[in-house]
Amino acid sequence: MNFQPVTEFLDSVEARWGVPACECIVTVDHEPVYRHWAGHMGWGAPSEPLKGGEWYWIYSCTKLMTMTAALQLWEQGRLGLDDPAAKYIPELGALTVREGDTVRPARTTLTIRHLMTMTGGFTYDQTTPAIRAAQGRNAPTLDLIRALAAEPLAFDPGTHFCYSMCHDVMAAVIETVSGERFSDYIARHITEPLGIAGVTFRPGERELARMPAQICWHDQRREFFLAGKDNSHQLTADYDSGGAGICCRAEDYVPFVDALACGGVGANGARILQPETIELMRANQLSGQTLADYNNTMKPAPEGYALGMRVHLVDDRFPKGEFGWDGAAGALALMEPARRLSVFYTQHVLNYLPNYSELHPALMERIYAAVDGK
């Protein structure tokens, strides 16, 4: 495998896209076949070069662990995909929908599948009165989601796709089903079994000291600015975001995506999901209006949306069935079961669309070429 073009590409991302720091790890059939980091800890002035082992907010790559947790409970018969969400959080049984200037009762019942597929009717507005009130009392995950249930939905569950706080709601469901705090569930049932020690929802001084600068693109000014090291999705000090809460090193996330690429079994032999569940996880769930919404607002065809992640639907420049997701600062998780291939790429650049439309596809093309010997 010749990964030199991948290395040259990673070394070029600062000049081409303004990305000051990045890291990429590739595994095939549990074996690490490539790792490279590039860039510097700071931004806008000379700073310390990366050494590897830096910490990053991976934002929505958290969602893959949230979906894994939900499907573990499904395998155990403790959670039904088509169960009403109100079975687990009663406040979700009296939802309303905003329609123009009025608010009416929801016409459909919110289900667990709706939450997993982002068709639940929620949005990503985290400034609503109910959320602000919950923040004022430092509400933990479940209490904040109970407050969120009082806010009107954008549409009736199941009728549209909207990228939203659905997976934050799922974290609260996981808490009620398991009886464990969400971050504790992730540790006990996913990261610890895989031998991972460095995944946290609350980085301390040690982690923050090894976190590269986080920058953000300003659409109006058409320039980057320094964004600090906070995660705006950590809505309170006691809140575990199932949609965007994880901070980790690249090497800490890799055993997880490697397990998803290899039928649910980690390199250490620990099983986190059954192979049949992985197939369900990566099966497209959208059609008609919901698929059109997804292709128009998130990922263009031939991408579909499975249980909390994208899936490639045809064989073209990328293989059919390849699946994964990305993060708000440009992280990318990719799994391809036919090759037992996993990729994890991470960086710290917020609100920058070229991360997804240009950088990620270009990186994926080079990695597939290297793995396939082209």
Q: How does pLDDT run across 140-180, given as a tens digit for each residue? A: 999 999 999 999 999 999 999 999 999 999 999 999 999 99
- Please tell me whether residues 171 and 252 are part of one structural domain: no
- For residue 351, the model assigns a pLDDT of 97
Q: What is the CATH number of the domain that holds 308?
A: 3.40.710.10
The answer to whether position 196 is within a domain reads: no
The letter for the amino acid at 198 is: G
pLDDT tens string 7-35: 999 999 999 999 999 999 999 999 999 99
The strand order across the sheet containing 31-39 reads 31-39, 21-28, 341-347, 332-336, 323-326, 310-312, 303-305
- Please tell me whether residues 57 and 80 are part of one structural domain: no
E-state strands within 52-210: 55-57, 96-99, 102-105, 199-200
- Please tell me whether residues 286 and 217 are part of one structural domain: yes
Q: Please, which pLDDT band fits residue 357 given cuts at 50, 70 and 90?
A: very high
- Please tell me whether residues 289 and 164 are part of one structural domain: no
pLDDT surpassing 90 at residue 1? no
- Please tell me whether residues 46 and 138 are part of one structural domain: no
- Please tell me whether residues 338 and 233 are part of one structural domain: yes
pLDDT tens string 89-110: 999 999 999 999 999 999 999 9
8 A C-beta contact, residue 348 and residue 43: no
The structure's pTM equals 0.97
Q: What is the CATH number of the domain that holds 76?
A: 1.20.58
Percent of the residues in the chain that have a pLDDT greater than 70, as a whole number? 100
Structure tokens at 157: 């569950």
- Please tell me whether residues 362 and 322 are part of one structural domain: yes
Q: Please, which pLDDT band fits residue 282 given cuts at 50, 70 and 90?
A: very high
Backbone angles phi, psi at 216, to 5 degrees: -140, 145
Domain range for residue 233? 4-61+209-371
- For residue 374, the model assigns a pLDDT of 79
Number of domains in the chain: 2
pLDDT surpassing 90 at residue 45? no
The answer to whether position 201 is within a domain reads: no
Q: Given the structure tokens 């595994």, which residue do they identify?
A: 27
The letter for the amino acid at 243 is: G
Average pLDDT of 122-150? 95
pLDDT surpassing 90 at residue 44? no
- Please tell me whether residues 301 and 152 are part of one structural domain: no
- For residue 63, the model assigns a pLDDT of 98
Percent of the residues in the chain that have a pLDDT greater than 90, as a whole number? 98
- Please tell me whether residues 229 and 310 are part of one structural domain: yes
- For residue 191, the model assigns a pLDDT of 98
- Please tell me whether residues 317 and 260 are part of one structural domain: yes
The answer to whether position 66 is within a domain reads: no
pLDDT tens string 331-346: 999 999 999 999 999 9
The answer to whether position 292 is within a domain reads: yes
- Please tell me whether residues 44 and 160 are part of one structural domain: no
- Please tell me whether residues 348 and 222 are part of one structural domain: yes
pLDDT surpassing 90 at residue 4? yes
The answer to whether position 199 is within a domain reads: no
Q: Return the closest-CA partner of residue 110 out of 149, 140, 73.
A: 149
The answer to whether position 67 is within a domain reads: no
Whole-number Å distance between alpha carbons of 68 and 92: 22
From 131, 156, 178, give the residue that closes a domain. Answer: 178
The answer to whether position 189 is within a domain reads: no
- 366, with CB counted inside 10 A (0-12, 13-18, 19+), is buried
The answer to whether position 151 is within a domain reads: yes
The strand order across the sheet containing 247-249 reads 55-57, 247-249, 199-200
